[in-house]
A and B are shown apart, each in its own frame.
Chain A
């Protein structure tokens, strides 16, 4: 691990073709990537596909990873691209699919997981608003970073976040009485 918590040696070994090292990277980073894909797609199966797609794409491109950014940041961008690519290919399917498909039906009080109504409300947001809320609100991207990742203007990103907040507030009953 380097000072920033990146497993440098494992990354180098994987870049040189070591599959076992790449599996270690998968074990370390897959919960974050799956979480990102699940929130972006709002669907479990789509999130699984995108997670797999992301790691396969990362394997292919790892030899060219130049460390201008952190490995985790680089991997995040690959995952966002995987979600956006899948969305383009399956537009019709996404439009008719229930957005919260794959989420459990009820809360598990002992799991320590967040209230499902919040997750469901996020999954039910319109796609553009959901993407921005997930990247900025949950994963801490700046507007500039989210706009760059999603290929939209920064102003659009801010407007979508405002829209997402308003819709979520209404759904969760946080509006003024």
Chain B
């Protein structure tokens, strides 16, 4: 094949339409599977890809370790069996505040309808967190409530992460 033939062949191929409309509606088959498809939550460490999230986790683990080390031996079993409790140390609070600040900054970049949906989701998560906290006060030994309380805490941070990740400016393109 000479250069001219190669060029005409390449042009022929490159001029083929890139888009081809599917001959039938494929969405119906997709949406049925979406309902059943579990979404994989981002692993927490990666979740951030963001330093702040890692800082939150580091603080949480540090806090947990310090708590268990400082607890009298008699109480260690209780600590081990005890539920998740949101840390209150300054380092954690600072990291959480930074994450919320980034989240708020990114949120205003979104269209009002999307923003409203996200804020509404956040309100639902926070309300659930508060309801579960009250229920735990009445029944502090309930392992189910403890798990639920922890999961709402993760949900809230997961939502921050998703918004922050999804609104990051693209770094590369094809």
Q: Interface stretch among B2-10, B61-69, B92-100, B141-149?
A: B2-10
For residue A64, CB closer than 8 A to chain B, the reply is: yes
For residue B81, CB closer than 8 A to chain A, the reply is: no
- For window 155-177 of chain A, which residues contact chain B by CB distance below 8 Å? 165-166, 168-169, 172, 174-176
Label chain A's interface by main secondary structure.
helix
Contacts of A138 in B (CB 8 A): 13-14, 16, 18
Q: Please give the number of chain B residues whose Cβ is less than 8 angstroms from any Cβ of chain A in the complex.
A: 56
For residue B72, CB closer than 8 A to chain A, the reply is: no
For residue B31, CB closer than 8 A to chain A, the reply is: yes
Contacts of B8 in A (CB 8 A): 174
How many A-B contacts are there with CB distance less than 8 Å?
166
Q: Per-residue 0/1 for A29-61: is the Cβ within 8 Å of any B Cβ (1 yes, 0 no)?
A: 011101110100000100110011001100111
Residue among A9, A22, A48, A63 making CB contact with B22, cutoff 8 Å:
A48
Q: Per-residue 0/1 for A58-83: is the Cβ within 8 Å of any B Cβ (1 yes, 0 no)?
A: 01111111111110010000000000
Band of interface residues on A: 35 or more
List B residues at the A interface (Cβ < 8 Å). Answer: 1-2, 5-6, 8-10, 12-24, 26-27, 29-31, 33-34, 37-42, 46, 49, 110-111, 113-114, 117-118, 121, 158-159, 162-163, 165-174
Q: Give me the 7 closest cross-chain CB pairs, A-B, nearest first.
A: A35-B20, A31-B19, A137-B13, A12-B166, A9-B111, A34-B22, A64-B42
